[in-house]
Amino acid sequence: EVITTLDKAKSLAERAGKIAAAKMEALKLVDLPPNKITPEYLGDWAKSLGKKAKLDVKVFDSKKSKSEGLDAFLAVGRGSAKDSKFIILEYRHPKAKFHLGLVGKGVTFDTGGLNVKTQGMHHMKSDMGGAAAVLATTQLVAEMELPINLTAIVPAVENAIDKDAYLPSEVIGSHAGLSIEVIDTDAEGRLILADGLSYLVKNYKTDQIIDLATLTGSSIGTFGFECAALFSNDGNLSHGLQQAGEEVGEKSWPLPLWDNYGREMDSEIADIKNYHGKPFAGAITAAKFLQAFTHEHPAWAHLDIAGVAFGDGEFSKTKTGTAYGVSLLLRYIENQL
């Protein structure tokens, strides 16, 4: 028998167990290989969480996604034999203090598409690190019965290459109604996030939105593997995420969202292009692209977690998932309560 003088020892231990279990799920989702972690697997994972916890879960297949107007999302998965899944989880609490929206990039494997990656492709099983963080956080919020409303969206796709793959120079549609000129098929994460963000804003009244995505090598060029790149149009949200990250060791640092960067994404033949094709400001221009699909929501934050979701760890000989985002989001949410 363990004896302790610590107050609330049992509830603290239970809390720690729930946090550990959620982080283990996030690690597993990132580390398992892409023949196991497919869009369908992520959809089934969400459905199974819905049966265990107080959650409503919807998973759209390609056909349903088409009828919902998720054209940018569908374009990315067109070249894959694995059907894309658009996953929505809704957690509601009767004493909710606020409504938070989460969107996580769920590219279960990223070849780069026809703009094929030329190095490090075997690490691209980790390109759903944002999805893992969002799914695990949703599990944690539901299990801890936190007094918030949470709507989480995970667009899950595989970016593969075959006769149906989307082409550089295509002009595709989007849920927001904006046409997108595809400059680079390896700038695919922002396409699925664009539809995820737009769908969330149009269908749910959220007070704040946070998206997490292993989005750009540029963010690693800026910060190395120390922290996530943070973008937000709301100072309180930005400071809150920074502060929460400092408290739990999941750091982020802000970069600007100035309008001039957005002009880099102007297209001559569509409303916007998905890549500016230049070797500078890649993380910022990607964030400006995403912002164009938020319907001017007043409190949105984007965390580019490319450098922190997957890396060298003390317990593994190979690169491994970090569960970055789970502790950060939990601390951020609890700081608001």
b/e per residue, 208-246, with b = 16+ CB within 10 A? bbbbbbbbbebbbebbeeebbbbbbbeeebbebbbebbe
Main-chain dihedrals φ then ψ at residue 26, nearest 5 degrees: -60, -40
Main-chain dihedrals φ then ψ at residue 171, nearest 5 degrees: -115, 120
| Integer Cα distance of 256 and 262 in angstroms | 11
Contact present, 230 and 306 (Cβ < 8 Å) = no
Catalytic residues: 117, 190
Nearest in space to 88 (alpha carbons), one of 101, 75, 71, 69: 101
- Angle at alpha carbon of residue 284, lines to 155 and 176, rounded to 5°: 40
**Terminal C-alpha separation, the chain:** 35
